[in-house]
Amino acid sequence: MVGNAVLQAALGDSEVGRVTALVRRPVKISHPKLDIIIRDNFLDYKDLRSLFARQDACLWCLGVSQTRVKSEEEYRTITHDFAVNAANAMLEANPDISFVFVSGAGADSKEQSRTLFARIKGKTENSLARLPFKPGKLYLLRPAAITPGPEGNPNGPWLERMLYPLHPFFRFFLPKYFIKVTDLARAILRIAKQGTPKQLLENKDLLDLRS
């Protein structure tokens, strides 16, 4: 859901000259400045070194709900290992690259939470922060409740899909805890292009950057 919104935002931005999408399955999007790479190996990126060397920024939106994996190991592999291995490979190819990681509200930087999501997201943030990114090149984003666009999010957990129609009601009373996926996409793209003083951005920070 987030990756698709970010992709659409990037393709519609006149300041973005080229977009490369690393995806797990085909996407129903065609655009003159879009290159699509379908791959099943997100742990080893040696074959993409020359590609990474030409990129200015990576917007990492790949993820999975903890309710849709069979084990903690699988969740850790997808959430932590995929992202950290990619970031390492990109830095080796291009030390000047920016990396924007979509984490989540509640991520536990101490890595002690009983909740798998919070513990592994926090671990991923910490692992990325230890990599030799140059100052102002790594950003860790913690969106809270993300409201999908009109097409919904068919890949989301069933409980989340059931609650989507209620988002406008909850957002009215708790506006700082909700963000529309299109607003999040605009914030992510703005961070990639312009940077921001904060490395770790909570939902309220992302709301401020959506315009």
Percent of the chain with pLDDT over 90: 77
Q: What is the mean pLDDT of residues 49-74?
A: 94
**pLDDT recorded at residue 166:** 60
Going by pLDDT thresholds of 50, 70 and 90, the confidence category of residue 65 is: confident
Going by pLDDT thresholds of 50, 70 and 90, the confidence category of residue 78 is: very high
Percent of the chain with pLDDT over 70: 87
Pick from 96-100, 124-128, 143-147: least confident: 143-147
Domain boundaries along the sequence of the chain: 40-208
- The per-residue pLDDT of the chain, averaged, comes to 91
Output the 3-class SS for the chain.
CHHHHHHHHHHCCCCCCCEEEEECCCCCCCCCCEEEEECCCCCCCHHHHHHHCCCCEEEECCCCCHHHCCCHHHHHHHHHHHHHHHHHHHHHHCCCCEEEEECCCCCCCCCCCCCHHHHHHHHHHHHHHCCCCCCCCEEEEECCEEECCCCCCCCCCHHHHHHHHHHHHHHHHCHHHEEEHHHHHHHHHHHHHHCCCCCEEEHHHHHHCCC
pLDDT at 188 over 80: yes
- Kindly report, residue by residue over 131-167, the tens digit of the pLDDT: 999 999 999 999 998 988 656 555 555 555 555 566 6
Class of domain 40-208: alpha beta
- Kindly report, residue by residue over 6-56, the tens digit of the pLDDT: 999 999 999 999 999 999 988 889 999 999 999 999 999 999 999 999 999
